[in-house]
Amino acid sequence: MGVNIMLSMDNNGEQCHVGTRKFGDEDEGFGPVLTGKHELQVGVSPSPPPSPIPSFPLASCIKETIAAAYRRMSRGELCLLLSLRSLPTCGEAVELAFRLAVHELSHRTDLSLKRHHTPRFTPPLSASSSFSECPNQINSGGNGGNGDHDVDMKAHELDNISLYVDTPFPQDVNLPPLPPELWADIFESLGDWELATALGIHTKLRRSADWAANGTRLDYAILSGSVEHITSLLEVYPAERFTKFGAKCMLRFAYTDLLTFFWANYRHDFLRVYSEPSLKIPTLASHYGQSKVLTWWLRASSPDLPNPFPREYDEEPLNDASREGHIHVLQWWKSSGLPLRYGQVMDVASSFGHLAVLEWWKNSGLTLNYLHALKGASYRGEVEVLEWWRKSGLRLVYDKEVLVDATKFNRPDVLQWWSSSGLRVEYCVCDIEAALEDAIDGGKEARDWWLGRGFRIDVPVTEWMEYKRL
């Protein structure tokens, strides 16, 4: 025997009929999908069901009806279907049925709609990051359930399963209709489980150990960016709380609707999480380049509101924006009307090779703070940054350490730039010798460069401590 799920929709697409019936091997048009102990037969009926079937709106009722059909299956059959779809098998039987129903509906193909992406997925309501709710394994003669054999999903196997999220895709982004396998390869090369999960891309990536140990159901639901999904989960688990993982995801993916939802309805938890020093909204939003979140924070912290979010920030937002190369964030802060607080932003931008950021600060009209810009560029091998500084017309601040660091980090191209720059720079034999001894990977290239210039370490003691011009 098997279960046949039949869907029919009237012409206007507003009413949907769903029916279920059992059938045997004699039914025509339905072949077994699987064979073996858990043989299931699933098919689409070529004709309307003979018995009256209730009508209802297309939205939640159809999901519940399909879930009810799945609930007639044994737990072993449900786990088998879930594993075939690469979905988690954790949770009670009612949750497994609901998970399958949501998954099936989310994969319906409407040929009248333009496809922008691979099919979307939905996370289970019971999916905790540690997957501690593994299904109870029932022996053939054991108790519990309906006596059927469950699919044995070990904890280490569950670690290979990505949780999929029904994520609303941006309306203004037209992604090419690549095969799911290619999208999976792209995101696996990026190694970004959070991003892949938020976009509903099925990959073999694993969560970080911290995510796996401390993430909550609500954290996983937040990845979807859906207020509807959040409210559905909280109706089932009202005591659920989000942690630093969900908090960071809301900022990283600019889920301002979720920020508004939690700020309005769970203010105490919101303040508790975002008051952590490592979770400051202006800092993380600037780090992730999310000016949309910064605008949300500016409005939520307006002193004109009766109970505003605390407007607290320090130097880190502008420092992080400079470090990450987010010029649009720098411009947002400049236009925000807020007092600007920043540190050695030119040093940071120089170390990370952000020429456009250096140019922005130079032309901003703001006071420029820098002290180790040329040193940072030297040890990081940023020759283009060094050249930008030489031509910038700004005051150059450096000392002999630029050559020491370039030698220690094995940067012969930087050493050559300093030699050809026309700038006065000095070195000491003892400092260079010490740098070569500590050099990265033995410093062969840097050593060869110095030897090519006639550098010698077997010099009289008087020369050992003497400063020489490069």
Alpha-carbon gap, residue 129 to 192, rounded angstroms: 16
Flag residues of the chain having pLDDT under 50: 1-59, 109-173
Residues near 127 by beta carbon (within 8 Å), at least 6 away in sequence: 88, 90, 91, 163, 217, 220
Please measure the distance between the N-terminal and C-terminal CA atoms of the chain and give it in whole angstroms: 88
Q: What pLDDT was estimated at residue 72?
A: 83
**374 and 381 Cβ atoms separated by less than 8 Å:** no
pLDDT tens sequence across 219-258: 999 999 999 999 999 999 999 999 999 999 999 999 999 9
**202 and 103 Cβ atoms separated by less than 8 Å:** no
Q: How far is CA 419 from the centre of its chain?
A: 44
Question: Would you list the domain boundaries of the chain?
Answer: 400-469
Q: What pLDDT was estimated at residue 67?
A: 79
pLDDT tens sequence across 331-384: 999 999 999 999 999 999 999 999 999 999 999 999 998 999 999 999 999 999
The H or E element that residue 435 is part of is helix 429-437
Q: What pLDDT was estimated at residue 54?
A: 40
Alpha-carbon gap, residue 88 to 93, rounded angstroms: 12
The DSSP 8-state label assigned to residue 441 in this structure reads: G
Q: Closest Cα partner for 85 from 121, 110, 45? A: 121
Q: Tell me which amino acid residue 427 is.
A: Y
**What does the DSSP assignment read for 131-181?**
---PPPP--TT--STTSPPPP---HHHHTTPPPP--PPPPTT-------HH
Alpha-carbon gap, residue 327 to 329, rounded angstroms: 5
pTM, 2 dp? 0.65
Instruction: Render the burial of 433-467: b for 16+ CB within 10 Å, e for the rest.
Output: bebbeebeeebeebbebbeeeebeeeeeeeeeeee
Alpha-carbon gap, residue 94 to 271, rounded angstroms: 34
Rounded to 5 degrees, what angle do the CA atoms 278, 311, 268 make?
70
Alpha-carbon gap, residue 330 to 312, rounded angstroms: 17
Alpha-carbon gap, residue 66 to 56, rounded angstroms: 13
